[in-house]
Amino acid sequence: MSTVAAVSTPNAAGGISVIRISGEKALEIAEKLFKPFGTKRVSDMPGHTCAYGRIVSGKDVLDDVLLTVFRAPRSYTGEDTAEISCHGGIYVTRRILREVISLGAEPAAAGEFTKRAFLNGKLSLTQAEAVADIISADGKNALASANLMHEGVLFREIKAVSDGLVGLLGALAAWTDYPDEDLPETDPATILKTLRESEASLEKLLSTYDSGLVFREGIDCAIVGRPNVGKSTLMNALLGYERSIVTATEGTTRDVVEETLRLGDVLLKISDTAGLRKASDEVEKIGVKLANRALERAQLVFMVLDGSEELTDSDREILEKLRGRRCIVIINKSDLPQKLHKEYINADIILEVSAKEHLGVEKIRDEVYKMFGLSGVADNPTLFVNERQKLCCDRALENIRRAAAALESGETLDAVTVCIDGAAEPLLELSGEKVSEAVVNDVFSRFCVGK
């Protein structure tokens, strides 16, 4: 493989920047640029050692830097690698990278260093994917899952299932291909036992997919209700600062105000919408239209009612529209004398709060966790599969169930073998043991450059 280079730190001014060079000529290129303050040459440096010196281009001294050398195979990529830690100015970082490329390195593609680690056997494909998950993790649970995957937990669980299926295929093939040999016929009960164990293992892995999606990507949430029930006040209370304008005048919110807040370990992508009613002017009509759009795409709805007033026809219309949706009804203004009767509200979750006085708002987090099934996994490190891994497990699970059904209905072992083979293939693809170039390119295309 060619020698590649990229900046492995963010493209912004900072304390330091790191330029990574990996490949057969990495140390040769580094030696041409790096002039140590001591007498040791880069080519003489052992792996996992550093040297202090300067990056020199012709007669120009570009920067004082620290050079770290990693020798194959004991490096992240499994190749000879040099990392230049320079001052974190944008210009000096780019200038050093240009010098590295001018000496024969190629610009690294997105995820290329981790891709090389996979191709050189340093990481399984699931471990490589975990690197991107660690970088993008935006909460405790997402990070804990990524670390479990990086430690190889998913790879080992999938390999245990695939090894069992491949073992069945080997036994079935031997018995089928050599009928004249004195080989014992594979016992259907043993086959079925292995299939059921494999099915249970995959079902367990897939059971946390929805929770993982929430922890990784957050929840789209819309705050809705008629005008002046306290939607904007509730949003401000959840955020902890004034983001939405609050006045006593109905229809103050004309646009959809969007913000992201953290509810425990979950990101809530929240939209404060215009009051839902028959609009009185053209601008408010647009606001109501946008509010309905936000409502349609929301995974979760906070329906706000005014507890100091009786339930109105507008309230009932909105509640009817939300039937069957994930919705928490929030009766606001609990600090005022109450006129609204909860028994008239047809909803599973009803909370009484005072957004203005910040009373009861903390209960919303617990109800969101219960609604999305997060309570059981929030306090324990849990492995969450991503979309690609889910699809592979789904395909495997479908074929395992077909194999079990074929076996139980008395189908020939040839038919059962075809189904087991169809189950083993996506699992081997998932772990990277048998994977196409297209799958590898798709996985690493989602990485950032420099990693």
Asked whether residue 232 is domain-assigned, the answer is: yes
Q: From CA 308, how far away is CA 305, in angstroms rounded? A: 9
pLDDT band at 351 (very low <50, low <70, confident <90, very high): very high
Q: Which two tokens stand for residue 34?
A: 């790096």
Q: From CA 408, how far away is CA 441, in angstroms rounded? A: 40
- Residues 260, 172: one domain? no
- What is residue 12's DSSP assignment? S
pLDDT band at 424 (very low <50, low <70, confident <90, very high): very high
Nearest to 371 by CA among 303, 325, 322: 325
- Residues 360, 390: one domain? no
Nearest to 63 by CA among 54, 72, 71: 54
The amino acid at 286: I
Going through 137-293 in order, the beta strands assigned E by DSSP cover 219-224, 257-263, 266-272
Question: Between residues 404 and 294, which one has the greater pLDDT?
Answer: 404
- Residues 15, 80: one domain? yes
pLDDT band at 43 (very low <50, low <70, confident <90, very high): very high
Tens digits of per-residue pLDDT, 114-126?
999 999 999 999 9
- Residues 225, 185: one domain? no
Q: From CA 314, how far away is CA 237, in angstroms rounded? A: 24
For residues 67, 72, 78, 84, the Cα torsion angle rounded to the nearest 10 degrees is: 10
Query: pLDDT at residue 257 above 90?
Result: no
Q: From CA 7, how far away is CA 19, in angstroms rounded? A: 4
What is the largest distance, in Å, between two alpha-carbon atoms of the chain? 90
- Residues 409, 295: one domain? no
- Residues 98, 10: one domain? yes
pLDDT band at 255 (very low <50, low <70, confident <90, very high): very low
Asked whether residue 325 is domain-assigned, the answer is: yes
**Total tally of structural domains belonging to the chain:** 3
- Residues 253, 339: one domain? yes
Asked whether residue 83 is domain-assigned, the answer is: yes
Q: Which two tokens stand for residue 128?
A: 């490589």
pLDDT band at 100 (very low <50, low <70, confident <90, very high): very high
- Residues 371, 407: one domain? no
Asked whether residue 115 is domain-assigned, the answer is: no
Mean pLDDT of the chain: 85
The CATH number given to whatever domain includes residue 304 is 3.40.50.300
Asked whether residue 352 is domain-assigned, the answer is: yes
- Residues 300, 356: one domain? yes
Q: From CA 268, how far away is CA 126, in angstroms rounded? A: 28
Structural domain boundaries, residue 297: 215-378
Query: pLDDT at residue 180 above 60?
Result: no
- Residues 146, 171: one domain? yes
**99, exposed or middle or buried, with CB in 10 Å at 0-12, 13-18, 19+?**
buried
- Residues 222, 279: one domain? yes
Contact assessment for residue 322 and residue 303, using Cβ atoms and an 8 Å cutoff: yes
Query: pLDDT at residue 246 above 50?
Result: no
